[in-house]
Structure 1
Amino acid sequence: MPGSALSVNTFPPLVSLHPSESLLSLAQQLSLQLTDQVPDQGFYLQQDKDGLALVCADQPRIHPVRVDFAAGALAHRRQFGGGRGQAIAKACGLKPGVNPRVLDATLGLAGDAFVLASLGCRVLGIERQPWVAALVQDALHRAIAVPDLAWLEQRLQLRVGDATSRMAELAGDFAPQVVYLDPMFPHSAKTAEVKKEMRFFRELVGADADSDLLLQQALDLVSHRVVVKRPRKAPFLAGREPSLSLEGKANRFDIYTLRKLDKTLD
């Protein structure tokens, strides 16, 4: 993509001519660079009437990337995605009376975390890129103002940091029964169905080259099971064979079971 700077661990600036108090607070909380100058090239964060978004300055045809729990694909999935019959729900052990505490150690744009929270789980998400966390935090702030989504404030929490080295520290007293891992992996040329804006988002975030370290961290921390989302034909994470796998058309959930999930009060 000519002109657009794409490098792992790049922090896009947050652009606002008249930042609100909440935006100032978010920038301070996540140590984001706040400016009133729109860059000529590369990516930047900008807040508009629909919320915070990642924008590409020199590629206007690329749609802004934002998180929206109240509308669009995530809202449709919450209503029509299959509920507890979804593979992710089965993999994480959800069933009548069982709503495990889930630590999503590779939160990203929080799509899977939102699904699990909407099905009754308490979810703690860890995201190592502050600007990605900003997109999710902004979406949470907007969602809890919607009456039908007010429950998100209690069920989905966010912490910023690198889970590969600080998973237990970042989890604190959350005591996860399930750790969920969805490491970013390089896409092959065959994955043309991925939207252009999401391909560039993935390039900016970068692949999780140290993802093998996540599995052992998760197994050391979790009480019941670790669930790893992988491309269907990808090798096992860290070469470690799971207890069982659930396969879909494009993805596979590898499940590492330590204990059986019993009925919980959470």
Structure 2
Amino acid sequence: MVNTNLTTQNEKLREVGLELKYTEDGLTLTDGKLSIMVDFKDMLPRLKQSNLQNEMQVKAARIKGQPMPQKIIDATAGFGEDSLILAAAGFDVDLYEFDDIIALLLEDGLNRAKNIPELASIVSRMHFHHADSIQAMQHLDYLPDSILLDPMFPSRSKSAMIKKKFQLLQKIESPCSVEEELLNAAIAANPKRIIIKRPLKGPFLADKKPSYSLEGKAIRYDCFVFSRS
């Protein structure tokens, strides 16, 4: 459970014109006009098995020749969409989110998803940690197969939903300022693969060139591949 007091968080949020409030649908972050929440029901069409094999994060993360479930860390979980897709594809996912507000929203979404038959088995493979992944990756008691990094990056998307989400989130979370530390922590965790989600035309994370990249229309996945005995 997220060890965070809602009243305390709202006292901080009011300084930037935001509020967390419970609605009949779940926990919502709002500025009085725009509202966002974690609602995995919206992603059900993408979770069909016929669609999952075409998802870029699945292609980037799956290690050929290794049986599932493969263990992956989502070190910058955010609203958990990538983790949900990976879990639906059969991965066992550890999600880390450091920001208190986003962690509250994500945990609320995960808890509601457990009661939805189409999502229950998927979210059972998603293990949420309200923690700093940089610190956590230095003290793992297992070797992950892969690590996913998606540090916040200024959005250039024209999508109305992305704009709406970004407008609110940028008030509470700044673009990543510890890129090199994040990448180094992931490397030190000794995975077989690191996958970094980036804007299509964005720079490499910490200016480190990957082994290869998978490119879509708006985003790409930079993949680092390591040999591990």
TM value normalised by structure 2: 0.87
1:182 to 150, 167, 179: 150
The corresponding residue for 1:44 is 19
Shift of 1:84: 1.5
Kindly indicate whether the alpha-carbon contact (under 8 Å) linking 2:134 and 2:186 is maintained by their aligned counterparts in 1. Answer: no
Percent same amino acid at aligned positions?
A: 30
Counterpart amino acid of residue 32 in structure 1: N
1:61 to 18, 33, 37: 33
Q: How does 1:175-214 map to 2 (within 5 A)?
A: 175-188=143-156, 191-193=157-159, 194-214=162-182
**Structure 1 86/125 Cα, relative in aligned 2: closer, same or farther at 3 Å?**
same
Shift of 1:95: 5.7
**Structure 1 44/258 Cα, relative in aligned 2: closer, same or farther at 3 Å?**
same
The corresponding residue for 2:188 is 220
Q: Deviations over 1:52-100 (max 9, x none)?
A: 11111xxx331x110111x22x222213882112111110025683432
1:113 matched to 2:113: no
2:226 to 237, 245, 258: 258
Kindly indicate whether the alpha-carbon contact (under 8 Å) linking 1:105 and 1:181 is maintained by their aligned counterparts in 2. Answer: yes
The corresponding residue for 1:17 is none
Kindly indicate whether the alpha-carbon contact (under 8 Å) linking 1:53 and 1:135 is maintained by their aligned counterparts in 2. Answer: yes
Q: Deviations over 1:225-252 (max 9, x none)?
A: 1000111111211111111111111111
Q: Deviations over 1:10-36 (max 9, x none)?
A: xxxxxxxxxxxxxxxx6xx42224279
1:76 matched to 2:45: yes
Q: Deviations over 1:159-217 (max 9, x none)?
A: 11222344233xx33531100000101235xx443323432213322111112211111
**Structure 1 215/61 Cα, relative in aligned 2: closer, same or farther at 3 Å?**
same
Counterpart amino acid of residue 91 in structure 1: A
The corresponding residue for 2:133 is 163
Report the Cα distance in structure 1 between the residues aligned to 2:206 and 2:26, rounded to whole angstroms: 38
Structure 1 gap ranges (5+): 1-25, 261-266
Counterpart amino acid of residue 105 in structure 1: A
**Structure 1 154/187 Cα, relative in aligned 2: closer, same or farther at 3 Å?**
closer
Q: After the TM superposition, which parts of structure 1 deviate over 6 Å for at least 4 consecutive aligned residues?
A: 35-38
**Structure 1 177/41 Cα, relative in aligned 2: closer, same or farther at 3 Å?**
closer
Shift of 1:41: 7.0
TM value normalised by structure 1: 0.75
**Structure 1 257/139 Cα, relative in aligned 2: closer, same or farther at 3 Å?**
same
Kindly indicate whether the alpha-carbon contact (under 8 Å) linking 1:230 and 1:253 is maintained by their aligned counterparts in 2. Answer: yes
Structure 2 gap ranges (5+): none
The corresponding residue for 1:18 is none
CA RMSD in angstroms, aligned pairs only: 2.7
